[in-house]
Amino acid sequence: MSETIETHTLSVLVDNEPGVLARVIGLFSGRGYNIESLTVAEVERRDSLSRITLVTSGTPMVIQQIKAQLSRLVPVHSVRDLTEEGPFVGRELALVKVASAGGQRLESLRVAEIFRARPVDTTVGSFVFELTGSVEKIDAFVALMVPLGLVAVSRTGCAAMSRGPDPL
């Protein structure tokens, strides 16, 4: 079995009940698995279901274990490995605060335009940009903002879905 580290995006449908997130996180910390990002929100009010999108990394054997261990949790309905199952869309939202003046301030606006980031808060000395896109795009934007007065970043983690008409 290959020892190469792979990154996988998993989509986990769970009962929206107290403690379900603690169970998932406890599983990862207890067994020493990595979490690169995790997002969770209720997606079906009627059946009270939440979807957890999780980006994790490990050897193929560890990834297989992670999926089996997640499936074993009692409130888990399904575990889908989007990375393995074919092309998927992964998007993240970020809020990026920049404080600067003069040329730097103008430059940050120009870069934001190129990245299609919107200012959602403005003061005379600062912007808060809202940006969605792939994880890599947000990384690139944040890197460009560093010399332009970056103050703070808030990111949601990756939400993901398979391409094509099938559910997830």
Partner 1 sequence: MDGTVRNGAEIIIDALIDQDVEVIFGYPGGAVLPIYDALFKQNRIRHILVRHEQAAVHAAEGYARSTGKVGVVLVTSGPGATNTVTGLTDALMDSIPIVCLTGQVATHLIGNDAFQEADTIGITRPCTKHNWLVRDATTLARTLHEAFYVARTGRPGPVVVDLPKDILVRPAPYVAADAVVHKSYRPRMAPDPAAIEAAVDLLAKAERPVIYGGGGLINAGPRASALLNELVELTGFPCTLTLMGLGALPASHPRFLGMLGMHGTVEANHAMHDCDVMLALGARFDDRVTGRLDAFSPGSRKIHVDIDPSQINKNVLIDISIVGDAALALEAIIAEWKRRGIASRRTALQPWLLKIEEWRGLRCLTYAQGPKIIKPQHAIRRLAELTRKRDVYITTEVGQHQMWAAQHFPFEGPNRWMTSGGLGTMGYGLPAAMGVQIAHPDALVIDIAGEASIMMNIQEMATLIQYRLPVKVFILNNQYMGMVRQWQELMFGGRYSQSYSEALPDFVKLAEAFGGVGLRAQTVDELDGVIGEMLAVDRPVIVDVAVDPTENCYPMIPSGAAHNEMLLGPGDIPTGNGSSDDGSERGMVLV
Sites of contact with partner 1 (CB under 8 A): 1, 15, 18-19, 22-23, 26, 30, 61, 64-65, 68-69, 71-77
Q: How far is the CB of 14 from partner 1 (least distance, A)?
A: 8
Q: Which is nearer to partner 1, 17 or 121 (CB)?
A: 17
| Extended strands (E) in 21-145 | 37-44, 49-58, 76-81, 88-99, 118-123, 126-133
Least distance to partner 1, CB of residue 42, Å: 15
Minimum Å gap between C-beta 65 and partner 1 is 6
Contact 155, 92 (CB under 8 A): yes
Q: Which long-range contacts (CB under 8 A, 24 or more apart) does 117-123 make?
A: 117/141, 120/95
Of 74 and 114, the one with the shorter C-beta distance to partner 1 is 74
Task: State the CB neighbour count (10 A cutoff) for residue 118.
Answer: 13
DSSP-derived 3-state class of residue 144: helix
Determine the Cα–Cα distance for residues 160 and 168; give it in Å rounded to an integer.
9
* Min dist. Cβ of residue 57 to partner 1 (A): 18
- Kindly tell me which of 21 and 140 has the beta carbon lying closer to partner 1: 21
- In the complex, the smallest distance separating the C-beta of residue 124 from partner 1, rounded to whole angstroms, is 44
Judge whether 27 and 69 are in contact, CB under 8 Å.
yes
Residue 13 or 158 having the CB closest to partner 1:
13
State the Cα–Cα distance between residues 18 and 1, nearest whole angstrom. Answer: 38
